[in-house]
Amino acid sequence: MIRYTLVRGALLIAGLLVSSVLIFLTLRVFPGDVAQLIAGTQASPAEVDALRESLGLNRPLFAQYTDWIGGIFRGDLGTSLLSGASVSEELLLKAQVTVPLGIMSLLIAVLIAVPFGILAALLRGRRGGTALSVGAQALAAVPVVWAGMMLIVVFSVWLGWFPPQGFPAPAGPHPGRPSSPCCCRR
């Protein structure tokens, strides 16, 4: 068991390393100059070169990669080019919404799936079990985006139980976010 765990751990680390190299190289292979994109079309070549220097884009790829991966291990994911805020802070801010939604959706899925799975197993070989299995397969084939929109229509528009969009904002002001707790409440 220990050997199995060590092998799986080594494979996980190797997979993460290969993935990080592929992601890094993919971002560098795309056509176009990142510094030129950030500086804009009106920037002079000197301004673009200065920006390339400040971003470290003129350094060898290996040095850029070690800085990038080192920043990930330190928790420094850089600065967003869109908002100018720390990417780590932005991720933490978004996680305040994403994590509770993920936990709640997992809880709902388990509360629905486990009883129906048990019922389908108990009714195996009968019409009811086959109907439950076919129904589960049909629901699994429904595109998630469409199902989400239909749930919004049912629970927000028809039943009026929830707001159609928005999420209560965490306490404290944040640039670019409305100051009201939820922009859609009436």
Q: What is the secondary structure of 116-133 as a DSSP string? A: HHHHHHHTTTSHHHHHHH
Mean pLDDT, rounded, for 62-83? 87
Q: Please, what is the average pLDDT of the chain?
A: 85
Q: At residue 51, what are phi and psi to the nearest 5 degrees? A: -65, -40
pLDDT of residue 168: 63
Is residue 184 over pLDDT 50? no
Is residue 185 over pLDDT 70? no
The domain segmentation of the chain, as residue ranges, is 2-87
Spatial neighbors of 25 by CB under 8 A, at least 6 apart, are 61
**Tokens read off for 134:** 């076919």
CA–CA distance, 186 with 175 (Å, rounded to integer): 23
pLDDT of residue 31: 75
For residue 22, the SS3 value is: helix
The CA–CA distances, whole Å, from 45 to 30, 33, 95 equal: 20, 12, 39
The CA–CA distances, whole Å, from 147 to 34, 124, 140 equal: 38, 28, 10
Is residue 106 over pLDDT 70? yes
In tens, the pLDDT along 140-162 reads: 899 989 998 999 999 999 998 98
In tens, the pLDDT along 12-71 reads: 999 999 999 998 888 777 777 788 888 888 889 999 899 889 888 889 989 999 998 998
